[in-house]
């Protein structure tokens, strides 16, 4: 029987590690029984392989030795071989002639995604290219900032091409050889969040991009080429179209545009308020009153999350009491934080954590300091073993984070009974959306007051109190710039997949300016590759999921609040102890990927809609928007206006000798030319 041959061949292949001799012929097979048998075998083999990979990745994540790294990559390579064997078998079926919709959907999930259409040699090359890109990023280290006799010494020279546009010259790097051990996780992230020294922030912003971008620029171009070749083999025009296909929306490109268009007025109000605070801190010689924001001053290496500059943009002491301090006073521990999260879910009728969860999870940093500390939820693909790894501190952030990660675990548990191909969300955004919908409930003043962590008098019904405004402002700083950043990033990636890498760095900053109102703090030339400073770009990971997840989380939250019969401003809702909200949440989670995202939204909204909508997000932030409008009433412009000097930072012209002209020289040349013609130039509101 065919399924026996497939299973036995798979075992031989995985043992031998060879797949180059396997050939499948397109047979236009529409035999339903064969397809069912193939999927049954795939379900078992893929789940077993997933378990092996998860165990290997867990061991490396909790004990990052070279041996564990090697074992992890061995298992990942075997998983890739299984993926390609399964793809070749799946494409032999003519799914369009198979009537059973579930069988057709499962085959489609194998066939459409992945890169196995490249063939063995190029597939192996693509995996190698991605490994090189990730290894460079993970190994990147920069020297510490040391204030010298001049700002030029602070900034240093970092251009791998022998000096970049707008860079002062210095022997900074050689002067501090031996101390260059600062990495992005913890070191640089913490500095960008806490430093208020403009030269220091500028230095680290430039240094990180020089270490991560130019060294892999050519390697990334090869990745683009291979990814596009694979997409064509899978029936797509380019890799961008293939990445968008998982959202099952033929108009997805325009859908995200329309959603952002509705959010722009709120974003521009927030942007204007942030700019006013940054000008107070750094002065008008750094930021124009009507201009875009320099990317290094936003409290984050990529300018994607602005909540760490809350102290700058909102002067005066915070109105919100210290919840983290209250947690310490009440004797919270990492274990108590997760027990509290579990009690939240059981209060709405969901299952408690299994004994395996408490036995196997790592909920605080090991005493020996080993392992990686990024919070994550793990599904070991055997329907019983689910874990969280989080180096938990007793703080409000980690309290909310614990609920976020446990939502992922609940999702794993709820859809565990589905076939393996359905044990995930219908698109990459659903997991994050559900997890963040829960954090909207547990992180708000209403819930914190209900569980005794916010003891000062807060009138929950009064959504316009300063405690509520600060809560909304903090959330807006977290979510709205992130949406603009994710849209700019993905629009850039779709562009380079379709049009190619020529001028890709200028295109990166053009989109950052258009959607986020952000410019680089110094000139960027053709030799730079600033998108490569973001891990998701060089590691081939979808990023528009964060944009979609942000829209979707407010839709989910709004529906759960209606089920909980909440009255009052949306942001004061708490679904704690609502069994009806829990029932709807469980109904959605149990489907996994067996339904499309449109079908799942229809289930969530009880038939009212099947499309993404920003209306709940706008309703949530309506009190903040009114407050921001009052704060910005004296501002000359809401949003930003861009001059040619801004654009020249990343769109340098070539001089007569073929060399790039820096921003200031370009602007001077441009203005001189315009003056001779009696012209005045000003570009407004690039949107």
The pLDDT tens digits of the residues spanning 667-677 come to 444 443 333 33
C-alpha span between 538 and 542 (Å, rounded): 11
Tell me, what's the pLDDT at 153? 40
Kindly provide the residue ranges of all beta strands, DSSP E only, lying in 237-310, ordered along the sequence.
Answer: 293-294
Query: Any idea which residues carry the catalytic annotation?
Result: 405, 536
Beta carbons within 8 Å of 165's beta carbon, 6+ residues apart = 522, 523, 524, 525, 652, 660, 662, 663
Tell whether the model's pLDDT for residue 158 goes beyond 70. Answer: no
C-alpha span between 666 and 658 (Å, rounded): 14
For 147-213, where are the alpha helices, taking DSSP H only?
Answer: 151-155, 172-175, 189-194, 198-212
Tell me, what's the pLDDT at 30? 62
Tell me, what's the pLDDT at 668? 46
C-alpha span between 363 and 357 (Å, rounded): 10
Tell whether the model's pLDDT for residue 460 goes beyond 80. Answer: no
C-alpha span between 342 and 356 (Å, rounded): 14
- What Cα–Cα distance (Å) separates residue 400 from each residue in 186, 370, 395, 397, 475? 20, 24, 9, 5, 13
User: Rounded mean pLDDT of the chain?
Assistant: 86
DSSP H or E stretch at residue 518: strand 518-519
Q: What is the mean pLDDT of residues 146-153?
A: 51
**Nearest-5° angle of CA 530, CA 531, CA 535?**
120
Tell whether the model's pLDDT for residue 170 goes beyond 70. Answer: no
655 falls in which pLDDT band (50, 70, 90)?
Answer: very low
- What Cα–Cα distance (Å) separates residue 661 from each residue in 164, 529, 592? 11, 18, 54
Which is nearest to 483 in space by CA: 428, 404, 546, 530?
546
Task: Please provide the size of the chain in residues.
Answer: 687
Q: What is the DSSP letter of 654?
A: B
Cβ proximity of 362 and 58 under 8 Å = no
Tell whether the model's pLDDT for residue 666 goes beyond 70. Answer: no
Tell me, what's the pLDDT at 154? 40
348 falls in which pLDDT band (50, 70, 90)?
Answer: very high
Tell me, what's the pLDDT at 8? 37
Tell me, what's the pLDDT at 369? 62
Q: What is the mean pLDDT of residues 219-246?
A: 96
455 falls in which pLDDT band (50, 70, 90)?
Answer: confident
The C-alpha R_g of the chain, in whole angstroms, comes to: 26
Tell whether the model's pLDDT for residue 458 goes beyond 70. Answer: no
Neighbours of 157 (CB within 10 A): 18
SS3 state at 51: helix
Beta carbons within 8 Å of 594's beta carbon, 6+ residues apart = 102, 105, 418, 419, 422
Contacts 24+ apart (CB under 8 A), 133-138: 133/216, 133/219, 133/220, 133/223, 133/532, 133/538, 133/539, 134/535, 134/538, 134/539, 136/212, 136/215, 136/216, 136/219, 136/538, 137/212, 137/216, 137/532, 137/535, 137/538, 137/539
Tell me, what's the pLDDT at 177? 39
Q: Would the annotation count 408 as a binding residue?
A: yes
The pLDDT tens digits of the residues spanning 329-345 come to 999 999 999 999 999 99
C-alpha span between 518 and 482 (Å, rounded): 12
Tell me, what's the pLDDT at 94? 87
Q: What is the mean pLDDT of residues 232-259?
A: 95
C-alpha span between 469 and 464 (Å, rounded): 6
Cβ proximity of 404 and 435 under 8 Å = yes
463 falls in which pLDDT band (50, 70, 90)?
Answer: low
Distance from chain centroid for Cα 520:
21
Which is nearest to 526 in space by CA: 503, 558, 496?
503
Tell me, what's the pLDDT at 669? 43
Residue 151 structure tokens: 């700002």
Alpha-carbon torsion angle 556, 557, 562, 565, nearest 10: 150
Cβ proximity of 525 and 217 under 8 Å = no
Q: Would the annotation count 247 as a binding residue?
A: yes
% pLDDT > 70, the chain: 84
Tell me, what's the pLDDT at 28? 54
Tell whether the model's pLDDT for residue 17 goes beyond 90. Answer: no
The pLDDT tens digits of the residues spanning 471-523 come to 999 999 999 999 999 999 999 999 999 999 999 999 999 999 999 999 999 99
Q: What is the mean pLDDT of residues 124-138?
A: 95
417 falls in which pLDDT band (50, 70, 90)?
Answer: very high
Q: What is the DSSP letter of 144?
A: P
- Considering only residues 12 and 635, tell me which one the structure prediction assigns the higher pLDDT: 635
370 falls in which pLDDT band (50, 70, 90)?
Answer: low
C-alpha span between 636 and 629 (Å, rounded): 13
Neighbours of 225 (CB within 10 A): 16
C-alpha span between 472 and 453 (Å, rounded): 18
- What Cα–Cα distance (Å) separates residue 455 from each residue in 105, 327, 656? 51, 11, 68
Helix then strand then coil, % of the chain, to nearest 5: 60, 5, 35
Tell whether the model's pLDDT for residue 464 goes beyond 80. Answer: no
Tell whether the model's pLDDT for residue 425 goes beyond 70. Answer: yes
The pLDDT tens digits of the residues spanning 179-208 come to 789 999 889 999 999 999 999 999 999 999
Cβ proximity of 614 and 262 under 8 Å = yes
For 415-465, where are the alpha helices, taking DSSP H only?
Answer: 430-442, 445-450
The pLDDT tens digits of the residues spanning 550-580 come to 999 999 999 999 999 999 999 999 999 999 9
465 falls in which pLDDT band (50, 70, 90)?
Answer: confident
Tell me, what's the pLDDT at 291? 97
Residue 555 structure tokens: 């839709």
Contacts 24+ apart (CB under 8 A), 241-247: 241/497, 242/112, 242/113, 243/493, 243/494, 243/542, 243/544, 244/494, 244/544, 245/112, 245/113, 246/112, 246/113, 246/427, 246/428, 246/542, 247/427, 247/429, 247/544, 247/548, 247/597
Tell whether the model's pLDDT for residue 1 goes beyond 50. Answer: no
């Amino acid at each position: 029987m065919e399924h026996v041959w497939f299973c036995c061949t798979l075992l031989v292949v995985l043992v031998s590690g060879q797949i180059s001799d396997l050939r499948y012929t397109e047979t236009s097979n529409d035999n339903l029984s064969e397809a069912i048998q193939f999927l049954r075998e795939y379900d078992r083999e893929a789940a077993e392989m997933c378990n092996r990979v998860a165990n290997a990745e867990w061991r490396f994540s909790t004990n990052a030795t070279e041996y564990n790294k090697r074992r992890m990559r061995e298992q990942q390579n075997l998983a890739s071989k299984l993926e390609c064997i399964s793809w070749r078998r799946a494409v032999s079926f003519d799914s369009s002639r198979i009537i059973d919709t579930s069988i057709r959907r499962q085959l489609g999930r194998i066939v459409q995604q992945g890169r196995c259409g490249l063939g063995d040699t190029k597939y192996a090359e693509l995996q190698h290219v991605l490994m090189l890109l990730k290894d460079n990023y993970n190994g990147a280290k920069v020297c510490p900032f040391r204030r010298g006799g001049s700002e030029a010494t602070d900034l240093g020279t970092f251009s791998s091409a022998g000096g970049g546009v707008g860079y002062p010259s210095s022997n900074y790097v050689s002067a501090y050889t031996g101390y260059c051990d600062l990495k992005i996780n913890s070191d640089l992230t913490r500095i960008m969040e806490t430093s208020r020294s403009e030269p220091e922030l500028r230095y680290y912003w430039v240094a990180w991009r020089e270490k991560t971008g130019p060294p892999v620029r050519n390697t990334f171009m090869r990745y683009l080429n291979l990814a596009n070749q694979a997409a064509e083999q899978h029936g797509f025009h380019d890799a961008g179209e293939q990445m968008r296909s998982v959202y099952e929306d033929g108009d997805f490109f325009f859908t995200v545009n329309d959603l952002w268009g509705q959010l722009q007025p709120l974003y521009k109000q927030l942007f204007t308020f942030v700019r006013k605070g940054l000008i107070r801190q750094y002065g008008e010689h750094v930021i124009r009153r009507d201009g875009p924001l320099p990317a290094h001053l936003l409290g984050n290496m990529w300018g994607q999350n602005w909540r760490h500059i809350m102290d700058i943009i909102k002067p005066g002491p915070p109105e919100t009491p210290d919840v983290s301090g209250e947690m310490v006073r009440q004797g919270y521990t990492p274990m108590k934080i997760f027990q509290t999260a579990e009690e939240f879910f059981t209060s709405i009728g969901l299952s408690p954590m299994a004994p395996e969860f408490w036995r196997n999870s790592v909920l605080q940093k090991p005493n020996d300091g080993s392992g990686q500390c990024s919070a994550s939820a793990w599904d070991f693909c055997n329907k019983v073993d689910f874990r969280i790894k989080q180096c938990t501190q007793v703080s409000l952030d980690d309290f909310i984070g614990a609920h976020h990660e446990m939502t992922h675990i609940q999702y794993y548990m709820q859809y565990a009974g589905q076939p393996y191909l359905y044990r995930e969300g219908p698109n990459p955004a659903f997991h994050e959306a559900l997890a963040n919908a829960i954090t909207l409930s547990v992180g708000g003043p209403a819930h914190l007051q209900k569980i005794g962590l916010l003891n000062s008098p807060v009138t929950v019904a009064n959504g316009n109190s300063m405690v509520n405004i600060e809560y909304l402002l903090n959330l807006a700083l977290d979510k709205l710039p992130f949406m603009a950043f994710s849209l700019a990033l993905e629009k850039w990636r779709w562009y380079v997949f379709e049009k190619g890498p020529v001028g890709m760095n200028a295109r990166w900053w053009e989109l950052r300016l258009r959607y986020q109102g952000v410019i680089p703090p110094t000139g960027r030339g053709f030799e730079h590759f600033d998108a490569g400073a973001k891990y998701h770009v060089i590691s081939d990971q979808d990023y528009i999921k964060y944009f979609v997840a942000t829209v979707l989380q407010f839709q989910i939250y709004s529906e759960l609040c209606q089920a909980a019969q909440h009255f009052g401003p949306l942001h004061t809702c708490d679904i704690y102890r609502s069994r009806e909200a829990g029932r709807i949440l469980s109904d959605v989670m149990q489907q996994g990927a067996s339904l499309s995202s449109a079908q799942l939204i229809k289930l969530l909204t009880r038939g009212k809609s099947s499309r993404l909508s920003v209306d709940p997000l706008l309703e949530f932030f309506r009190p903040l928007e009114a407050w921001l409008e009052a704060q910005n009433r004296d501002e000359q412009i809401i949003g930003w206006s861009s001059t040619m000097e801004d654009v020249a930072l990343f769109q340098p012209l070539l001089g007569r000798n073929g060399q790039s002209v820096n921003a200031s020289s370009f602007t001077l040349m441009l203005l001189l030319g315009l003056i001779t013609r009696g012209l005045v130039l000003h570009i407004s509101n690039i949107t």
